[in-house]
Structure 1
Amino acid sequence: MAEQQDDVPFYQKPEWADVVPIPQDDGPNPLVPIAYTREYSTTMDYFRAMCRAQEKSERALDLTKIVIELSPSHYTVWYYRQQLLKELNKDLKDELEWIEWMVNEHPKSYQIWHHRQVVVGRIAESLFPSTTSTTTTTPTTAQSTEAAFSFDDLSESQKTAAQELVKSELEFIAESLKDDTKNYHAWSYRQWVLAHFGQGPWWTGELAYTEELLEEDVRNNSAWNQRYFVVTNGPGGLTEEGLQREVQFAKSKIEKTPSNESPWVYLTGVLRKANHSVTEIKEFCEGLLSVPRANFSPFVHATLLDIYEVEAKEQRSAASVEKAKEEAIMLAEKVDSIRSKYWNWRKTQLQKIDILA
């Protein structure tokens, strides 16, 4: 979408004749001057002039696009563009089309994803002005589960608008994730979209989406992380019924790939989130020891070590301490010897447990 209607640089056109470019000032004796291209250097000279004058015009907006397409990570230019879009009351849907092109060209640029978040946040403000409770002028992509408004408080027409906007954004993100299923910026933005628009019906399909991704690649740690985000932040939170569903889901994946760390982290994570003890999966873990490929999984033995240690502390059981020691030795000497020092340290800590005589 780099629109070049002719080969004449913008700064050579009559409409820019009144602008006095401001060169970059690196001081009298720059130590390591950057060898910018003439095109970029000149463009930035004009951009500095726009910033100093705080010009809010169509040509200033056009200039930000030129600079961004030359340097997509230039956050100062993105911020200036956001100000211009607001001052000039531009159609933000048109902006989304350009951002989509930019994401396709530079999928790992944080600034592009953040800009889309700003734009979508402003669209939401315009659609639901009476219900928006938090400003979205300059949001961050650090995730927050606090919604900008309550979905239930919206009118029917507003609910429809919210669903259409969220659906469009989730589809856009999913398309981007096809090229890189672990694009952190895309996942971060996806979580913001889900949370920002409140506890709406879009959460329902998110579990199915993560399950689809995990069917394709059970080691997709990003999909596991997203699933955890959904079950812990979605409508109703992690209920007892939801916990049992997720425990069974994680177990089914572990049985297929017992040496895959992600489902183990997920399994213990949801138990901890629901204030359930890891000892609840003792029978499952012990059963895996009879499976040859599982018996050499460090995650099976590490989880059993945790389980026996918890039992030893709760029951003050010498038998549990001995079982925990056996797991620590197994890890240190056979299945995870690269971290033998850690497992040997864990073994020494078991000696400190106060057991019944």
Structure 2
Amino acid sequence: MPPKPKGGAKANNLEPKAPEAAPETVDERNRQRFYQTNPIEKQFEEVGLPGLTPAEKKTYIHSRLLLPVAEHKVPLSSKTEREFWKQVTKEGLPIRRLRKDYSWGRDKSGRDLGSYKLEDFEQRSLKQARLTALDILHLNFLAKRDIARRNAADVAPEDIEDEKKRRTDMAALKRELYGEITGPLANDPEWDDVIPIPQNEPEDALAKIAYPDDYAEAVSYLRAVMAIEECSPRCLRLTELVIALNPAHYTVWLYRFNIISALRLSIPDEITWLDEVALKNLKNYQIWHHRQLLMDYYYPMIFGDDEDVKRLAKSETDFIAMILAEDTKNYHVWSYRQYLVEKLGLWTPSELGATQSMIEDDVRNNSAWSHRFFVVFSDPTVSTADLPPTAHDPKVPDATIDREVAYAKDKMVLAPQNQSGWNYLRGVLAKGSRSLTAVGEFAEQFVSGLGQEDERVQSSHALDVLAEVYQDKGDKDKAKLCLQRLWEKWDPVREGYWKYRASEMERAA
């Protein structure tokens, strides 16, 4: 028999594979590159070690030994290391290989960067490169500014403007790439010398306030400059920023006034700015307190100039009228108006006429009634200072009492159930030390058939007045009947009060 041929290495008869599709994501490209730099790895995963040819086994096993030596995890002598790398070169073993488990990290929203489409990943890389370039220019600006300061010189305005724009671009890129948020102050070179003081809340706080990022940054800078009591134009601009973000921030208003007084800034200019803020925040109390501080500061400066005082009074009353046209019962505005009348001495027919016009427009406007009472009975020329609001004032002329009683009656006929007019009438009578019996006949026109089937009551307030009128006249039964009908039918909501009044009447008898 002829000798058997020597057994050679049995090659794997693998059919040629179709070329792989082009990768679409970063992870797909990573896998392709991994197999390209680890040529036996794919076959090993498909057929295992027994399925490899001897040459492939040798290559695979040797490649596994490369990394520990390359990473200096296996110590070798100099001679052994030279022989080792000589053999690696001879065998053509793959040295530079990608890791299979390489991670590109995650973006600001937690998404794996490996899942990015290649074109999206390329755009992200370009943005990172642009951010790096901007950061280099930013560091260059800081170095240039330091040199200028050491030489007692100023940085060119155009360089500062370029830096502001650069920081804005950097902030946008950082927010887009990494979710880092920086506000306008951190991006402004003017504030580089200030170390902001953030809000310090305990870690175990039950409910931490989630301040908006811009507001949290602005207030942290505000704390820093307030801590050193800095009064400067930039601090004034900072207060404007904080107020725009939160007009109810009481402390920033006080700090703003301190800056204005320390720098001796124009009060008319401040009032012009304040007008715009007030129109956008009709219910804000701090605005009107700030306005009052401005008046207290400004009025002594113009006290001796009647024309300046008149101009100020007109501009203020005109603006108040504009605000009240938007909200006729704004308590803060009416309080400020009383302050202004007293401060500027506006005990004038025009001020009284203004209240009359507002009552004509809305007879139920209690604020206008209250202001009228203040204007009429607090005028220092016809009233006694420091008396309680409803105390008798002998200095008030009888003609004024008669006029105001008649005025109240005229308006009460229009709206008998309106409590404002009845309260005003009581106050006027008290100022003139006149009894309610003086208006008993007037009140009776709103009540008829009391206690009978045809009972008709147009005003529960008139019934209240009549109870006191009848009591003063000694008719206890009729007075009690008025109170009884109030708690039974005409004002049962305040039943307890009316019964209390009746019991007091009995006790007095």
TM range (shorter): 0.7 to 0.9
Q: Is the 8 A contact 2:447 2:459 kept in 1?
A: no
- Structure 1 residue aligned with 2:484: 329
1:48 corresponding residue in structure 2: 223
1:88 aligns with one of 257, 263, 267? 263
**Amino acid paired to 2:419:** E
TM-score where L is the length of structure 2: 0.59
Say if 2:389 is the partner of 1:214.
Answer: no
Q: CA deviation at 1:290?
A: 4.9
Deviation at 1:294, TM superposition (A): 7.2
The match for 2:439 is 281
Q: Is 2:307 the partner of 1:160?
A: yes
2:504 corresponds to 1:349: yes
Aligned-pair Cα RMSD in Å:
2.1
Q: Which amino acid aligns with 2:317?
A: L
The correspondence for 2:302, drawn from 101, 104, 127, is: 127
**How far apart in 2 are the matches of 1:349 and 1:48?**
58
Distance in 1 between residues matched to 2:504 and 2:291, nearest whole Å: 50
* Residues 446, 459 of structure 2: 8 Å contact kept: no
Which residue matches 1:146? none
Shift of 1:232: 1.0
1:232 aligned to 377, 382, 389, which one?
377
Selected match of 2:194 from 16, 19, 24:
19
* Secondary structure at 2:489 match in 1: helix
Structure 1 unaligned regions, length at least 5: 129-153, 313-319
User: Is the 8 Å Cα contact of residues 259 and 294 (structure 1) preserved in structure 2?
Assistant: no
**Residues 127 and 161, structure 1, Cα contact 8 Å, conserved in 2:** yes
Please give the alpha-carbon distance, in whole angstroms, between the structure 1 residues aligned to 2:278 and 2:294: 14
Q: By how many angstroms is 1:293 displaced?
A: 11
The amino acid of 2:472's aligned partner reads V
Q: Establish whether residue 204 from structure 1 lines up as the match of residue 366 from structure 2.
A: no
Q: What is the aligned partner in structure 2 of residue 263 from structure 1?
A: 421
Counterpart residue number, 2:494: 339
Q: Deviations over 1:237-285 (max 9, x none)?
A: 3421111111001111111111111100110111112221111111211
Number of the residue aligned with 2:409: 251
The one-letter code matched in structure 1 to 2:482 is: E
Q: 1:259 to 1:121 in 2, by over 3 A?
A: same
The yes-or-no answer on 1:32 pairing with 2:32 is no
Partner of 1:135: none
From 226, 234, 237, give the equivalent of 1:59: 234
- 1:21 aligns to what SS in structure 2? coil
The offset of 1:86, in angstroms, is: 0.9
Question: Which residue is 2:32 aligned to?
Answer: none
Q: Displacement of 1:323 after TM fit?
A: 1.6
Amino acid at match of 1:333: E
Instruction: Report the equivalent of 1:298.
Output: 460
> In 1, Cα distance between the equivalents of 2:413 and 2:330?
27
**Structure 1 residues 304 and 44 mapped into 2: Cα distance closer, same or farther (>3 Å)?**
same
- Cα distance in 2, alignment partners of residues 344 and 82 from structure 1: 53
- 8 Å CA contact retained: 1:296, 1:335: no
Spell out, residue by residue over 1:175-226, the C-alpha distance to the aligned partner (whole angstroms, 9 max, x if none). Answer: 100010000000000000000123x5x5221221111111111111111111
Letter in 1 for 2:369: W
Q: How high is the sequence identity, in percent, across the aligned residues?
A: 39
Q: Name segments (4+ residues, structure 1) moved above 3 Å.
A: 5-8, 290-294
SS at match of 1:108: coil
Partner of 2:147: none
Partner in structure 2 of residue 310 of structure 1 = 472
Corresponding residue number in structure 2 for 1:110 = 285
Amino acid at match of 2:211: Y
Contact 1:258 1:293 in 2 (8 A): no
Q: In structure 2, what is the Cα distance between the partners aligned to 1:203 and 1:103?
A: 26
Secondary structure of the 1:22 match is: coil
SS of 1:346's partner is helix
Partner Cα separation in structure 1 for residue 456 and residue 370 of structure 2: 23
Aligned to 1:10: 185
Contact 1:26–1:33 (CA under 8 A) maintained in structure 2: yes
Would the aligned equivalents of 1:214 and 1:223 in 2 still touch at CA under 8 Å? Answer: yes
2:340 aligned partner, one-letter code: V
Q: TM-score, normalised by structure 1?
A: 0.83
Distance in structure 1 (CA, Å) of the matches to 2:240 and 2:226 = 14
> Using a 3 Å threshold, how does the CA distance of structure 1 residues 181 and 294 change in structure 2: closer, same or farther?
farther
Superposition deviation, residue 324 in structure 1: 0.5
User: Helix, strand or coil: the match of 2:209?
Assistant: coil
Q: Deviations over 1:271-324 (max 9, x none)?
A: 112221111111211233359997242111001001122232xxxxxxx11221
SS in 2 for 1:20: coil
- Deviations along 1:136-173, one digit per CA (max 9) or x if unpaired, are xxxxxxxxxxxxxxxxxx5xxx2232222112111111
